[in-house]
Amino acid sequence: MGTRRVGGMFLAVFTLLGFASCSGRPVALPVAARPPMPVAAAARPPENYPVGLRVLRLQRGQHRPLPTMVFYPAMSMLAVGLGPTTGLPPALGRFPLVLYSHGLSGSPQRVAATLAGWAAAGYVVAAPSYPYTHEFTRDYRRWDIVNQPDDARYVIKRMLRLAATPDDPLAGHIDINHIGAVGHSAGGYTTSGLFVKGHDPRLRSGVILSGWRAPGAFAGPPARMLFLQGTADPVVPMAKSRAAYARVPWPKSYVVLQGVSHANYLRPGQLGYRLMDPAVLRFLNETLKGF
């Protein structure tokens, strides 16, 4: 374990690297064999795109509407600094796809500034509102989180379909071979549920923010995982996220935010945001862009 004090808060990073031994079992190297990921010092990548925004009216079956906000790198000097703007053409190039899953009574709108920041850094970010757990639903069903991993898979498939649709503005602008997923709280449960036996090998990494594990999670093709957890979280105890972390058989990291609660690090200006955001971007850059 490596621990450092940053801006009045302690940041601890636990890293496990899996290497195949002669017996085929993973070998846990001491943390000293590889310095902890310097998440607090990580800077945004050189990209700083304007951000385009569109809303997809997706539907999985008759009773599962999935309106999805899509933030993407755009090409318009006039939109620099204006925030997410509809109707902008995508920037040149292909960009990895990141799916964001909100928590119970959360929404993409609530963290739009954060998601737009990831798009500005060179990602296409798709953020669905899950039908019975988002903050604006009139039919709240906490137990419906068990259906959300399938919703998330559906949204990813629809995004990949757009990438191959000749007349869609995003055609040719999504890197379909590099996909990541990020989720907060119950959205972390949803995210973990994507990494089950037989999952798409193009799903290369996942980030679980104050979340826990779905049944059957962390099987199938290897993927890197990052967990972030506040020590003052009254909703998801650290023991719960650590138990999920322990079940991951692949390369993984666990970041502790000292004094941070359940959701007071998701938006700019909140306690812990300046640690969470660079950590997530550094991880996405390493796992989806290779730097």
Q: What is the mean pLDDT of residues 19-25?
A: 29
Residue 215: per-residue pLDDT: 96
**For the chain, what is the largest distance between any 2 Cα atoms, rounded to a whole number of angstroms?**
58
Alpha-carbon span 266 to 94, nearest angstrom? 27
Query: Is 23 or 8 the better-scoring residue by pLDDT?
Result: 8
**What is the percent of the chain with per-residue pLDDT over 70, rounded to a whole number?**
82
Is the predicted pLDDT of residue 2 greater than 50, yes or no?
no
pLDDT in tens, 248-287: 999 999 999 999 999 999 999 998 999 999 999 999 999 9
Contact between 73 and 44 under an 8 Å Cβ cutoff? The reply is: no
Is the predicted pLDDT of residue 43 greater than 60, yes or no?
no
Query: Is 178 or 7 the better-scoring residue by pLDDT?
Result: 178
pTM: 0.85
78 forms beta bridges with none
Q: What is the mean pLDDT of residues 153-180?
A: 97
- Average pLDDT of the chain is 86
pLDDT in tens, 225-241: 999 999 999 999 999 99
Q: What is the mean pLDDT of residues 67-82?
A: 83
User: Confidence class of residue 79 from pLDDT cuts 50, 70 and 90?
Assistant: low
pLDDT in tens, 208-230: 999 999 999 999 999 999 999 99
Residue 25: per-residue pLDDT: 32
User: Confidence class of residue 111 from pLDDT cuts 50, 70 and 90?
Assistant: very high
Residue 166: per-residue pLDDT: 94
45-289 maps to which CATH number? Answer: 3.40.50.1820
Range with lowest mean pLDDT among 46-55, 119-128, 169-178: 46-55
Q: What is the mean pLDDT of residues 121-126?
A: 98
pLDDT in tens, 173-205: 999 999 999 999 999 999 999 999 999 999 999
